[in-house]
Amino acid sequence: MHELSITQSLVDAVLDCTGDRTVTGVNLRIGRLSGVLPDALRFCFQLLAEGTPLAGADLRIDEPAGRATCHTCRQSFILPDTIPLCTCGSADVEITGGRELMLASVEVG
């Protein structure tokens, strides 16, 4: 489960920035094509935040859809799953969104 190591890095990064201040909220962007499972990350966050200033913080996750542009027909479209295939039938597509994995903001109290 790579979510555990990702969450540990997240907790470390937040604590580096906030120090001993109480954290009330953490906002993430995890694209649907990132390979990260938001529910697993939430579970890991609860475990790793215990006993730290992040304990009890509200973890909010924005999950942007996958997006792509077809090199054949030049159409931009939303990817409904991880198979990059345009409605024109072409697999010659460039993924332009949905791979995000970022800490968007932190709220302190």
Q: Where is the binding site for Ni(2+), in residues?
A: 2
Q: Where is the binding site for Zn(2+), in residues?
A: 70, 73, 86, 88
Angle at 12 between CA 7 and CA 13, to 5 degrees: 95
Composition of the chain by helix, strand, coil, percent to 5: 25, 30, 40
Q: Where is the binding site, in residues?
A: 2, 70, 73, 86, 88
Give CA–CA dist 67/97, Å, rounded: 5
Single-letter residue type at 43: F
Single-letter residue type at 93: V
